[in-house]
Amino acid sequence: MTALYQQSLEGLTRLRGIAGAMVVSADDGLVVAESLMEGIPGDAVAALAASLMRRMGTAVSAAGFTPPSFMHLQAARGALLVVPAGPDILLIAIGDRHINLGLARIEMLQAVEQLG
């Protein structure tokens, strides 16, 4: 894991409500780097996030919109946040239901700037 990825993930996981963060391949959802709490199925979350982001990109492109710069999936027990960090990499954060979404989004976008 590169120091840059580790630094980005540490910044995210310090936020209250973040249970984990990952850098994954946008194409296939393979985990490049991760910082997850015990019990989080990182491989499954990474694959889900990459698949959803690809599908969302296809849908918005067909509608004539630009590719998404942030994806937020809210569930009963938490949230999945995804930000593209270039054409081949996604930054993912897994949050509990008490996450401060605005702060998490700002931190993720700053991390993406560092990765880019």
Task: Encode pLDDT of 42-53 as tens digits.
Answer: 999 999 999 999
Domain 3-115 superfamily per CATH:
Dynein light chain 2a, cytoplasmic (3.30.450.30)
90 closest CA partner among 13, 29, 44, 38 = 29
- Judge if pTM exceeds 0.75: yes
Q: For residue range 72-110, what is the model confidence (pLDDT) as tens digits?
A: 999 998 999 999 998 899 999 999 988 999 999 999 999
Spatial separation of the C-alpha atoms in residues 46 and 90, rounded to whole Å: 9
Q: What residue spans define the domains of the chain?
A: 3-115
Spatial separation of the C-alpha atoms in residues 21 and 69, rounded to whole Å: 17
Residues 6+ away with beta carbon under 8 Å from 106: none
Determine phi and psi for 74, rounding to 5 degrees: -100, 130
